[in-house]
Amino acid sequence: MGYVADPALVERARALLAEHPVVDGHNDLPWALREQVGYDLDRRDVAADQTEFLHTDLPRLRAGGVGAQFWSVYVPPSLAGDAAVSATLEQIDCVRALAERYPDQLRLARTADEVEAARADGRIASLLGAEGGHSIACSLATLRALYELGVRYMTLTHNDNVPWADSATDEPVAHGLTAFGEEVVREMNRLGMLVDLSHVAADTMRDALRVSRAPVIFSHSSSRAMCDHPRNIPDDVLERLPGNGGVAMATFVPKFVLPEAIAWTQAADAFVRARGLDPLASTPEVKEAQQAYEAAHPRPVATAATVADHLDHMREVAGVDHLGLGGDYDGCPFLPAGLEDVSGYPNLIAELLGRGWSEADLAKLTWQNALRVLRDAEAVARDLRATERPSITRIEDTAG
């Protein structure tokens, strides 16, 4: 099943993105490069078309109207302690290597002003987001070190709980944030690192919104009312975003946007695991197994319109000032028709134009909201650093 956008609306979308490009909240290219080629960028030259292997390369980012990208410096929860920290550093090193290799295309950015400057110079601003609190190994000093290396958001958990916060896809233990988890959020506020609530349990979302002094983000999550998956955002949480000032960046992952895709994905993942493979791995063997399952069991296909349905609902609940986009490219095996890779953003913008979204509101969705949140977090941090010292709290000093 394909998706055909109105050509006239696509042209309008491209013109809008030339003025207000996408700030995408989450792309897993660094982990895909690790899995596929061990960070050998000669073997995956993303200046050339990598459609056979990846959702992301530089020509398709340009075609998609992406002006700033949060690159995920993800490591799996199976890595813990020092191993998780080291792997996170290797991921950061990969993004740095990409920026050094393609200086005419990419530029590292740490602040909203640097994002704006990169765009003005025709570069794609490259920011870092750590995906999972296991990356700091329960150490606030490690959190500060990641900030100094340029990490500007941390997702509090990935698919598994951390000792101080519950994940959306694990059994509840803390029922939100522990006392140490609250200290992590406060220290992130003091630093100016955005608190990312994708992947976390709903109670963790609520606790973080209660504790945070700065706007939060959801780097890649959609609406739970539209698709009842625990990775999505409940309406009561979306309703609290205006009071916090945060942004929910809708994701494109089919099992998070299309209810029929949930059971199909569970069965496909079981098929891949039965072959001794990790369905989250970005390897040719996993891709082959997924394609074999799909050939025997055609998958339900989401489209750009499915994602637009989520954005319509999220806008109704949270307001247009609190929405963004986080595709999760190279972090999932399948994507909606019309959004198959990073060149697809004009199709989504065209779909929203056809639904009556104004160009002013679409500019907020693609660029302005994300930049505002980054700038607001920087302002909060300036104030907090004037009155608060770096936290030296250890997890063993707290009840959790």
Indicate the pairing of strand 323-325 with strand 247-250: parallel
Catalytic residue among 35, 57, 131, 166: 131
The answer to whether the Cα torsion of 267, 271, 277, 281 is positive or negative is negative
Phi first, then psi: what are they for 133, rounded to 5°?
-65, -15
Query: Is 199 labeled as catalytic in the residue annotation?
Result: yes
- Exactly one of 199, 229, 310, 313 is catalytic; name it: 199
Active-site option among 26, 55, 134, 310: 26
Contacts of residue 111, defined as CB under 8 A and 6 or more positions apart, other chains included, come to 374, 378
- Note if 220 is an active site residue: yes
CB 90 within 8 A of CB 80: no
Under DSSP, is residue 177 helix (H, G, I), strand (E, B) or coil? strand
Q: Which of 137, 130, 66 is nearest to 95 (CA)?
A: 130
Alpha helices in 38-80 (DSSP H): 58-63
Residue 24 is a catalytic residue: no
Q: Does 28 participate in catalysis according to the annotation? A: yes
Residues 6+ positions from 299 with CB-CB distance below 8 Å: 254, 261, 264, 268, 334
Handedness of CA 235, 236, 239, 245 (dihedral sign): negative
Please tell me which residue in 20, 24, 28, 183 is annotated as part of the active site.
28
Among residues 20, 220, 310, 322, the one annotated as catalytic is 220
The single residue of 158, 229, 310, 313 carrying the catalytic annotation is 158
Exposed / middle / buried, residue 356 (Cβ in 10 Å: 0-12, 13-18, 19+): exposed
77's CB contacts (< 8 A; 6+ apart) are 132, 134, 158, 159, 160
Catalytic residue among 182, 328, 330, 341: 328
Active-site annotation holds for 229: no
Active site residue 316: no
Residues with a known catalytic role: 26, 28, 131, 158, 199, 220, 328
